[in-house]
Structure 1
Amino acid sequence: MGVKVVSHASAIRDSVVSSFFAFLHSGRSGYVLLSGLALIVLAGVMMVATFDSREARAAPPGWEQFVAATGSNQWVSCSFLLSAGAIVLSINYLPRLEGEG
């Protein structure tokens, strides 16, 4: 029984690794995926900067601080980066999902 479990786990690992490498070698998909994820990570960094901005620090904590933070220039940059990341990922994967159906 132990040998069957090990061989099954090895087969699953090989399948995952081969499908991962097939995805990376399928053309531009890997680069577009990394670009979209990088944009979303940068949006996260900008979100932190938004709530650490001068406007957010000047406002009292709570709802007023949230309103001040979302009215700052950092929030505009954050929303653009988040939107760009979502658009890049959707442009890359939606046509492929549509064609598979």
Structure 2
Amino acid sequence: MAIRIVQHAAAARDSVVSSFFNFLHSGRSGYVLLCGFALLVLAGVMMVATFDSREARAAPPGWERFVAATSSNQWVSCAFLLSAASIVLSVNYLPRLEGEG
């Protein structure tokens, strides 16, 4: 019984690993996926910079600080990075979805 469970777990692990490597080696998908995640990480860094900006620190806490942070130049950069990441990640999967339909 325990041997069967170990065999099924090993087969499931091999299946997941092989499909992951097939995804990475399927052409541009791996690089585009990594680029999209890199853009998301940069957007996260920019989000932290937005709420630590001079304008946000000068405003009182609460809604005023949020409004001051979202009107700063860092917020514009963060919004562009988030938009770029969503476009890159959606373009990565668009041809597959059209081919499957």
Matches for 1:1-80 after TM superposition, within 5 Å: 1-80=1-80
Aligned length: 101
How far apart, CA to CA, are the structure 2 residues paired with 1:78 and 1:95?
27
How far apart, CA to CA, are the structure 1 residues paired with 2:28 and 2:98?
18
Shift of 1:98: 2.2
SS at match of 2:37: helix
**Superposition TM-score, scaled by structure 1 size:** 0.98
CA offset digits 1:38-67 (Å, max 9, x no partner):
001100000000000000000000000000
How far apart, CA to CA, are the structure 1 residues paired with 2:98 and 2:59?
47
Cα RMSD of the aligned pairs, angstroms, is 0.6
Structure 2: gaps spanning 5 or more residues:
none
Divergent runs of 4+, >3 A: none
Identity within the alignment, %:
83
Shift of 1:94: 1.8
SS at match of 1:14: helix
How far apart, CA to CA, are the structure 2 residues paired with 1:69 and 1:15?
46
SS at match of 2:26: coil
How far apart, CA to CA, are the structure 2 residues paired with 1:55 and 1:61?
12
